[in-house]
Amino acid sequence: MISNLSVSIAQLTSLILTLLFWAIFIRAILSWVNPDPYNPIVRFLDRVTAPILYPIQRVVPLFGGIDISPFIAMLLIELLKGLLVRAILNLGG
């Protein structure tokens, strides 16, 4: 039987990764409209997503002048979410 603690940790992990996914998605959409860099929401999104996007940007070149690092990061987050949540549930059960 899977313990309540394992289920709670798996749900929390999934929630955090889902929020990170959407933060990256929103940042990518905002980059199309050139938002005010002093806007608190834009600054927050930059602080949250930069540690993930910048390392990917250093490794992956622009693709036809388009930064595909958000797409790669979102794929990696979904992969990580699936693997981590399953691993946490397997450890608890």
Residue-wise pLDDT for 14-73, tens only, equals: 999 999 999 999 999 999 998 999 999 999 999 999 999 999 999 998 889 899 999 999
Q: What is the pLDDT of residue 52?
A: 96
- Paired with 66 in beta bridges are 63
What is the separation, in whole angstroms, between the first and last Cα of the chain?
A: 5
Most distant CA pair in the chain: distance in Å?
51
**In this structure, what are the phi and psi dihedrals at residue 63, rounded to the nearest 5 degrees?**
-110, 100
Structural domain boundaries of the chain? 4-92
pLDDT range class, residue 10, cuts 50, 70, 90 = very high
> Residue 72's closest CA among 18, 13, 24?
24
Q: pTM for this structure?
A: 0.89
